[in-house]
Structure 1
């Protein structure tokens, strides 16, 4: 094969794991929004340089813009070779891409090939990759989903984590979305990814699953925080067999106190989230709950939220959205210790 080899997504993505390094040559802001899984960012033009070159292109012309951009691209690529890639052997096989597979990745791929590395450049770049992922999520693989259902605080997320730790296949949408899936589910200090990044994470998980083995997933709603679960994936989940996880309410309160301990330390953050429930419960009820938070009555508050908000909402939606829930296998947890979840996971995983 002649290098740099320019290959399309249909050739590249099935062998994505065979590349030694995946290099995203776009700017840092483009990379932050979404990228091919496992990619590292080596901008041939950073954000400020792109603005400079783009402004010159619009105000002066393409020739002058290229004269400014070319030395910047050369300097950046040289720096990466001297620092990141100086120790790479002759058979090091990188994949390089940019927005459309044009000048930015082409320049890097050409220099790599001149050095002697068997570099592959992604034809169509990130834009072609994104179209591939979007199409793949419209027709996801036929997987044997097993949906973990249960009221808020029943330990669904902990069970998924435990299942994964013992080798089961798990699609943890809340973890991929960096959100616990409820009005109080924002994770402190961890912003949610972009919608495109969320979809990339889902696609990357789905492509790695063995279709002959079950995939455990939680009974999510269509949105996890601000992010939407792809519709076709949601439809597959909602048509799948269910497992009804059961845990006594006092233990659910205890589990939620552990999982949401940050609200105990900062009641103002909890109260800001409770404001979103005014339309459902009225200002008077919300102010009562906020006063409980301010005076340290957190267990009582959590219990009331379960009884008056979360449990009714769950019972209204579960039968309607998950058609096999009436036939669900019941799995009762005796406690919330690590051993309790390991025993439950082993029962499901076999």
Structure 2
């Protein structure tokens, strides 16, 4: 049987025991349906080889060679990762566009007695639904942005707010980037498509009648672009701003960016890109602080001479609708818990 999904909610709440992605490992790595397991019926080299034969030699020969590879690889999966399933198992199988790879694998599973079904249109139909949700349709949520200077622990506040029952979407977490020049994280960023999959998954199941808090961002987080529907909703969203003294923010940054600050050579390389914006003398001073290992003085300087001016410039340009300001003198655990309580109260008030 073939399953057809009309919206992203239906796709994500599919009701099957497992979702199996039979595309190549490279296709799976770029993006896949949330929760899918990768059981490729053609690996990267095999897929390239069959495609070349199809285009340059003979479609019939390509299908014949491809079929042999598909069933050989499928047999390996059945004997291996699928061997423990009983007769009632119900998997959903998809490939690139719902064609031969998923159809062949699902047929084999069906011959065993498993209730396998395929996705009409395959991954391409899933991707169309993601695009509709994030590019075409208005986002059906009332967003509130959490703003504040760099180092005001906005990211650390999000899980505290979520624990208090606030609806939260962590954009930087989805992008695997802390949203600044020094914001790269180990492992790098997901692809744009995978980032968007994370976004639709994060919004899935949220209550449109209640506000959804997101951290204030520019239109890009690292190299990942915020999709149009989300960005449009963010531009129209009111703000709650968190405020803290420079010294407290610098101390927080020194701890939060300890991994970046530990690699002096790489840090100098990244900061060198700011010479056209901040001047050679300023960047040279930062380099001296790196050499001295004075992380606290460095984060004070970076905040005062780069991050704060950039934030002020952006704020002047966008003129956000700041509805509430939460001030804290410290950024330790108890102070962040207190700030989270204030933010929750603001979200529940008539001001937001």
Structure 2 gap ranges (5+): 346-352
Q: Secondary structure at the match of 1:286?
A: helix
Residue number among 14, 17, 23 corresponding to 2:10 in the alignment: 14
1:84 aligns with 2:78: no
> Structure 1 residue 341: deviation in Å?
1.8
Residue number among 315, 332, 339 corresponding to 2:334 in the alignment: 339
Summarize deviations over 1:55-104 as a string: whole Å, max 9, x none. Answer: 22233312222222212111111111122122223332211111111001
The corresponding residue for 2:113 is 116
> Structure 1 residue 168: deviation in Å?
2.5
Q: Secondary structure at the match of 2:290?
A: helix
1:288 aligns with 2:269: no
Change (3 A) 1:225 1:137: same
1:263 aligns with 2:260: yes
Per the normalisation by structure 2, the TM-score is: 0.92
Retained in 2: the 8 A contact 1:12–1:122?
no
Retained in 2: the 8 A contact 1:141–1:206?
no
Q: Secondary structure at the match of 1:57?
A: helix
Number of aligned residue pairs:
343
Residue number among 99, 106, 116 corresponding to 1:102 in the alignment: 99
> Structure 1 residue 13: deviation in Å?
5.1
Retained in 1: the 8 A contact 2:22–2:102?
yes
Q: Secondary structure at the match of 1:95?
A: strand
Change (3 A) 1:11 1:230: closer
Change (3 A) 1:256 1:179: same
Whole-Å separation in 1 of the counterparts to 2:117 and 2:164:
37
The corresponding residue for 2:206 is 209
Structure 1 gap ranges (5+): none
Change (3 A) 1:140 1:338: farther
Q: Secondary structure at the match of 1:85?
A: coil
The corresponding residue for 1:46 is 43
The corresponding residue for 2:312 is 315
Q: Secondary structure at the match of 2:92?
A: strand
> Structure 1 residue 213: deviation in Å?
2.3
Change (3 A) 1:284 1:334: closer
Q: Secondary structure at the match of 2:188?
A: coil
Change (3 A) 1:50 1:270: same
Summarize deviations over 1:196-247 as a string: whole Å, max 9, x none. Answer: 1111111111222111222110110001001110122112112112111011
Summarize deviations over 1:113-157 as a string: whole Å, max 9, x none. Answer: 222222221111111211211111122432121211100001111
> Structure 1 residue 12: deviation in Å?
7.9
Per the normalisation by structure 1, the TM-score is: 0.93
The corresponding residue for 2:173 is 175
1:349 aligns with 2:347: no
> Structure 1 residue 167: deviation in Å?
3.5
1:330 aligns with 2:325: yes
Say which is worse superposed, 266-275 or 63-72, in terms of deviation.
63-72
Q: Secondary structure at the match of 2:204?
A: helix
